[in-house]
Structure 1
Amino acid sequence: MTEIPQITDSHCHLDFPDFEGRLGEVVRDAAKAGVTRMVTICTKLHNEPAVRAIAEAHPSVFYAAGTHPMSAATEPLVTVDQLVTLARHPKMVGIGETGLDYHYTADSAAVQQTSLRIHIEAARETGLPLIIHARDADDDMARILTEEYRKGVYTCVMHCFSSSAELARTALGLGFYLSMSGITAFPKSQELRDIFAAAPLDRILLETDAPYLAPPPHRGKRNEPAYTAHTARKAAETFGLPYPEFAARTQENFDRLFTKAARARKAA
């Protein structure tokens, strides 16, 4: 029997109501598809205990915590100390998601930028990768990421990257990673696939952003970690590689960026 290539869903939201009462099944289905690790993302700090509990209950699940930019104006402003304290948990492996979203919440741009800089400082202090959400804010995003990098090095992944080639070049120039979501498998996403194809293979991650953005053949339905495999197979075509080789390379990339999760797997 041929072994299924292992991959990682680097960004999902297993605490969302879509998965209530189904987590065991979701994790098992993911494993059957070769998705042997998941990072579930806390987007509001008052939900952190629930997100942490999911990671604690499932050996293959890790988590990250932060304040989503669309909630930056309605949630208490997070502090560096809060994030650093949370990061002491053995299964918390990233800071965020944070970032800028001017599509729906441009009126809160100032507080989003403040929140982003706080998360960046926490990423520096903890050594954990920053997880960035960017939508319709390319210029400010490129400027802040660059300004902050000059103040002190940090690592970062541009989650669910679907922004411009210019922002991709800025992020890659800083040594950051780009994550491929189900959007990259949509038939009309050739321009986005071209952006990824021009990126170094050693900076590519995979994700679902579940329960959102399900790739074909599940587009329009609830997404889940198992479907990372559909995105990954289309991504392998984008890079002109056999699927097992592409999967292995993305695993190496995840381990290089999410070092805490990589250490945990070695210790298991």
Structure 2
Amino acid sequence: MKGLKVIYYTALLQMKCSFARPMFRFCLIANPIVNTVLLYEMFKSSDRGDFVSYVVLGAGLMALWSCICFSSAGDINRERYSGTLSLIYVAPAGFSAIITGKVIGNTILSMVTFILSFLTAKILFRIDIKVSHPYCLLLAIFCAVVSFSMISIIVAYLLTLSRKTQLYMNCIEIPVILVCGFVFPAEILPLWVRPISYILSPTWAVKLIRLSVSEVWNIKEFYTVLCILIAVTAVYLVIGYFLLKLIESQVRVLATLEVS
């Protein structure tokens, strides 16, 4: 119960702090609008019947991942340069609970990108978006939030050991967008890239969301992808647990919580 309260209040505080930063507001507000316009111009002449979902959902997902990269991962860097990372690490509340709260707060706040992407497509391009299965869409979005949060927590744990957080943070944004099929189907990637795509939970989260708004409804495929996403996320949970234990020992040896 104490851990849940820590996560809850940390998430609330994190949302306020994140929105106060100009870079986060840019990623949250400007990114989905610009991405929607760019993707619409890219897809408007295509022969895909589901290009609308790639424009709206793709733009929202790209902005969502950018917010996570420059907030959840960047929080480790900010705490380190503020001299508070070591204090958070030894806080009675628990390092894992605080990081989890930060990631959840950023992820929930970043869901605004979907609304802005939808409004941009609706107002500028008069795109009519129909959701045949709204409950499945809500379930898919919830699962996506959980999966994005899990991969963000793992990234945050890994970056705790390094003082090159900003470099790695910038390096993971675009590759994940491309490999996980945010703006095009992952199935068209080269064969040697697909295994990398399939072990990343955002790939399955993106596919699940697209299936939930598809006009050609395939309930068997939907639940198959849902089970795969749950399984991959569960593996991430186990990896995160053992990674935290490993980091606890490595931090004492390497002493990388300070700036220098």
Normalising by structure 2, report the TM-score: 0.29
Q: Name the structure with the higher helix share.
A: 2
Q: Name the structure with the higher strand share.
A: 1
Larger radius of gyration: 2
Which structure is richer in relative contact order (CA contacts within 8 A, separation 6 or more)?
2
